[in-house]
């Protein structure tokens, strides 16, 4: 479950004032809110009404964010990023504070379509985007300065419409997994217990999310270590980091895989089951293929070993999934607001089964794609032996 830090101001249905006017203005610019009913910026009487609530939810749905109608830091930043169109500003690599926006995503998408590997289409102008841009500039014979200004915009415009290459990022991700080989030995897996410290996440039936996530993470860590891989947790039992820092930790460690653990809760106590999320953006039809495969494996293993309802794998653009440079998933095995799920999660034996399911999914991720065929082949030697033993 996503969270708003208590120090952050969040705006929702019923709020009024200049900040609400600004939010409404951004929604109007994006075409999600009708112009006529929107008092423009600076109006202290602007109200977060039903239409605003609907527009915010539609925006969150489009962007792969948590759809709750609340404009906290995450949704606010996403609204801000959404206003940039390619050509609006000069784009370049700023290590201290990466430029973020739809213009960066468009640049990345165009380069990928032409076969220049800039990594994920995450809308962040990082070092891979700069390298791909230099490569592109060299190829079209303009100064390879890694800065996307007027000359590059023109070149992109001319070429992007005519040249269509492959999907180098998807291929590279899968190749990295295949190259890594079928054992877990030497793999570095970052396990991220959600929330922590003052932020306990959701709670219900005597359980809280932060403590539960930490307990689950420790169980996964112990089992992963037995397989010969290295596993690190992003936080201690009481630690707290925001999602950007957690992603930064995984990137700095050069992890092979990131597994974030949360649980969910809803006002409706009927809501129950396990869902897994991976990086993906339906708006531009881009996702992490290995993230998707791993999320599917987690769902398969968890739902085969437990009676949790299968809520399947879904694409999200949450910071931890978006800013990590390696496949990352967030698993939410159950709802604390549901009596049945909460009772299951309260049982340490059940949490052990969940941890085993997660580790089984990690092992399957690194098996070669033809593993099923090889399993089938194991029966053949016996048949051959029987045949060979018979006198001709
Ligand atoms: Zn959570």
Cα–Cα dist 110/104, whole Å: 10
- Range with the lowest mean pLDDT among 150-164, 269-283, 329-343, 353-367? 150-164
pLDDT interval class at 170 (50, 70, 90): low
- Compute, in angstroms, the gap from residue 213 CA to the centroid of ligand 1: 9
Q: How confident is the model at residue 370 (pLDDT cuts 50, 70, 90)?
A: low
pLDDT at residue 387 greater than cutoff 70: no
143 C-alpha to ligand 1 centroid (Å): 46
Residues with a beta carbon under 5 angstroms from ion ligand 1: 1, 194, 201, 262
Nearest of 229, 142, 152 to residue 191 by alpha carbon: 229
User: What confidence tens digit (pLDDT) does each residue in 30-66 have?
Assistant: 889 886 554 454 455 789 999 999 999 999 998 889 9
pLDDT class for 175, splitting at 50, 70, 90? Answer: low
Mean pLDDT of the region 24-29 = 89
Question: Given a cut of 90, is residue 350 above it in pLDDT?
Answer: yes
Strand partners, 328: 258
User: What's the whole-number average pLDDT of the chain?
Assistant: 84
**pLDDT score recorded for residue 154:** 87
Q: How far is the CA of 378 from the centre of ligand 1 (A)?
A: 43
Q: How far is the CA of 218 from the centre of ligand 1 (A)?
A: 17
Distance 149 CA to ligand 1 centre (A): 40
Q: What is the mean pLDDT of residues 282-288?
A: 79
Q: Ligand 1 centre and the CA of 76: distance in Å?
A: 19
For residue 386, what pLDDT is reported? 34
Topology of 102-166 in CATH?
A: Muramoyl-pentapeptide Carboxypeptidase; domain 1 (1.10.101)
For residue 202, how far is its CA from the centre of ligand 1 (angstroms)? Answer: 7
CATH 1.10.101.10 intervals, the chain = 102-166
pLDDT at 276 over 60: yes
Cα within 13 Å of Cα(380), Cβ side: 5
pLDDT category at 266 given cuts 50, 70, 90 is very high
Range(s) within the chain of domains with CATH label 3.40.630.40: 173-365
Domain 173-365 fold:
Aminopeptidase (3.40.630)
Centre of ligand 1 to C-alpha 324, Å, is 18
What's the CA-to-centroid distance between 273 and ligand 1, angstroms?
15
| DSSP string of 233-273, one letter each residue | ESS-TT----HHHHHHHHHHHT-SEEEEE--B--SSTT---
Please give the structure tokens belonging to residue 37.
């009913």
SS3 state of residue 335: strand
pLDDT for 250 beyond 80: yes
- Looking at residue 230, what is its pLDDT? 87
How confident is the model at residue 117, as a pLDDT? 85
Distance 292 CA to ligand 1 centre (A): 20
- Closest listed residue to residue 237, CA positions, set 207, 272, 193, 186: 193
What pLDDT does residue 239 have? 84
- Secondary structure of 152-207 in HEC code, one letter for each residue: HHHHHHHHHCCCCCCCHHHHHHHHHHHHHCCCCCCCEEEEEECCECCECCCEECCE
- The answer to which of 5-9, 11-15, 200-204 has the lowest mean pLDDT is 5-9
How far apart are the CA of 323 and the centre of ligand 1, in A? 17
Sort 385 into a burial class: Cβ within 10 Å, 0-12 / 13-18 / 19+.
Answer: exposed
For residue 83, count other CB atoms closer than 10 A to its CB: 13
SS3 50: helix
Q: How many helices (H) and strands (E) in the chain?
A: 15, 9
Distance between CA atoms of residues 105 and 327, nearest Å: 19
SS3 of 291, please? helix
- How many whole angstroms from 13 Cα to the centroid of ligand 1? 22
Is the per-residue pLDDT at 235 higher than 50? yes
Question: What mean pLDDT is predicted for residues 289-308?
Answer: 94
Quote the pLDDT of residue 283: 76
Q: At the top level of CATH, which class does the domain 18-82 belong to?
A: mainly alpha
Distance 194 CA to ligand 1 centre (A): 6
The answer, yes or no, to whether residue 363 has pLDDT greater than 50, is yes
Pick from 166, 326, 181, 363: nearest CA to 251: 326
Report the pLDDT averaged over residues 285-289: 83
Q: How many residues does the chain have?
A: 392
| Interior angle at CA 177, CA 241 and CA 215, nearest 5 | 35
Residue closest to 188 by CA, chosen among 261, 136, 250, 280 = 250
Distance 124 CA to ligand 1 centre (A): 24
- Higher-pLDDT residue of 92 and 163 is 92
DSSP states of 60-127 as a string?
HHHHT---SS-B-HHHHHHHHHHT--TTSS-B---TTS--BSHHHHHHHHHHHHTT-------SB--H
pLDDT in tens, 81-101: 998 988 889 999 999 889 999
Q: Is the pLDDT of residue 163 over 70?
A: no
Alpha carbons within 13 angstroms on the beta-carbon side of residue 83 total: 13
**210 C-alpha to center of ligand 1: Å?**
8
Q: Could you tell me the distance, in angstroms and rounded to a whole number, from the CA of residue 373 to the centre of ligand 1?
A: 39
In 3D space, the residue among 290, 283, 292 whose CA is nearest the CA of residue 78 turns out to be: 283
Q: Please tell me the distance between residue 339's alpha carbon and the centre of ligand 1 in angstroms.
A: 18
pLDDT at 43: 57
pLDDT tens string 104-153: 998 998 888 778 888 888 999 999 999 999 998 988 889 999 999 999 98
What pLDDT is recorded for position 367? 76
What's the confidence (pLDDT) of residue 262?
Answer: 98
**How would residue 4 be classed by pLDDT, with cut points 50, 70 and 90?**
very low
Distances (CA, A) of 220 to 44, 213, 358: 51, 10, 7
- The Å distance, Cα 311 to ligand 1 centre, comes to 16
CB 366 within 8 A of CB 184: yes
Q: Ligand 1 centroid to 260 CA: how many Å? A: 9
Tell me which residue of 167, 118, 174, 119 sits closest to 294, measured CA to CA: 174
Residue 263 CA, ligand 1 centroid: distance in Å? 6
pLDDT at 181 over 70: no
Looking at the predicted structure, is the pLDDT value of residue 358 above 80?
yes
Give 262 Cα–ligand 1 centroid separation in angstroms.
5
**Residue 81: what pLDDT?**
92
Cα–Cα distance between 364 and 360 in angstroms, integer? 6
**CA–centroid distance, residue 250 to ligand 1 (Å):** 18
342-362 burial code (b ≥16 CB/10 A, e <16): bebbeeeebbebbbbbbbbbb
In the reported structure, the alpha carbon of residue 293 is separated from the centroid of ligand 1 by a whole-number distance in angstroms of 22
């Amino acid at each position: 479950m996503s969270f708003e830090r208590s120090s952050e101001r969040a705006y929702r249905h019923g709020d009024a004032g200049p900040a609400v006017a600004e939010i409404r203005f951004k929604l109007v610019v994006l075409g999600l809110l009708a112009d006529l009913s929107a008092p423009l910026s600076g109006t202290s009487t602007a109200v977060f009404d039903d239409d605003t609530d609907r527009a915010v939810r539609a925006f969150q749905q489009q962007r792969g964010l948590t759809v709750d109608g609340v404009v906290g830091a995450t949704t606010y930043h996403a609204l801000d990023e959404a206003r940039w169109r390619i050509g609006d500003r000069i784009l370049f690599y700023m290590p201290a504070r990466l430029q973020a926006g739809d213009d960066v995503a468009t640049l990345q998408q165009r380069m990928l379509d032409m076969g220049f590997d800039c990594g994920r289409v995450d809308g962040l102008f990082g070092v891979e985007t700069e390298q791909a841009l230099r490569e592109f500039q060299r190829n079209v014979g303009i100064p390879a300065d890694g800065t996307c200004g007027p000359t590059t915009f023109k070149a992109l415009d001319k070429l992007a419409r005519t040249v269509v290459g492959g999907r180098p990022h998807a291929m590279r991700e899968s190749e990295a997994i295949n190259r890594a080989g079928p054992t877990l030995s030497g793999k570095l897996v970052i396990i991220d217990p959600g929330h922590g410290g003052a932020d306990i996440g959701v709670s219900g039936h005597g359980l809280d999310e932060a403590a539960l996530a930490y307990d689950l993470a420790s169980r996964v860590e112990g089992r992963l270590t037995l397989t010969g891989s290295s596993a690190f947790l992003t936080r201690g039992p009481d630690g707290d980091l925001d999602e950007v820092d957690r992603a930064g930790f995984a990137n700095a460690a050069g992890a092979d895989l990131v597994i974030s653990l949360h649980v969910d809760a809803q006002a409706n106590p009927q809501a129950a089951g396990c869902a897994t999320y991976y990086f993906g953006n339906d708006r531009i039809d881009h996702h992490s293929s290995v993230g998707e495969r791993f999320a599917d494996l987690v769902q398969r293993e968890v739902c085969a070993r437990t009676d949790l309802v299968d809520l399947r794998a879904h694409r999200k653009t949450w910071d931890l999934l978006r800013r990590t440079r390696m496949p990352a998933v967030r698993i939410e095995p159950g709802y604390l607001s549901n009596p049945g799920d909460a009772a299951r999660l309260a049982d340490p034996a059940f949490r052990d089964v969940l941890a085993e399911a997660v580790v089984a999914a990690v092992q399957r991720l690194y098996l070669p794609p033809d593993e099923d065929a090889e399993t089938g082949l194991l029966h053949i030697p016996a048949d051959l032996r029987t045949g060979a033993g018979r006198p001709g």
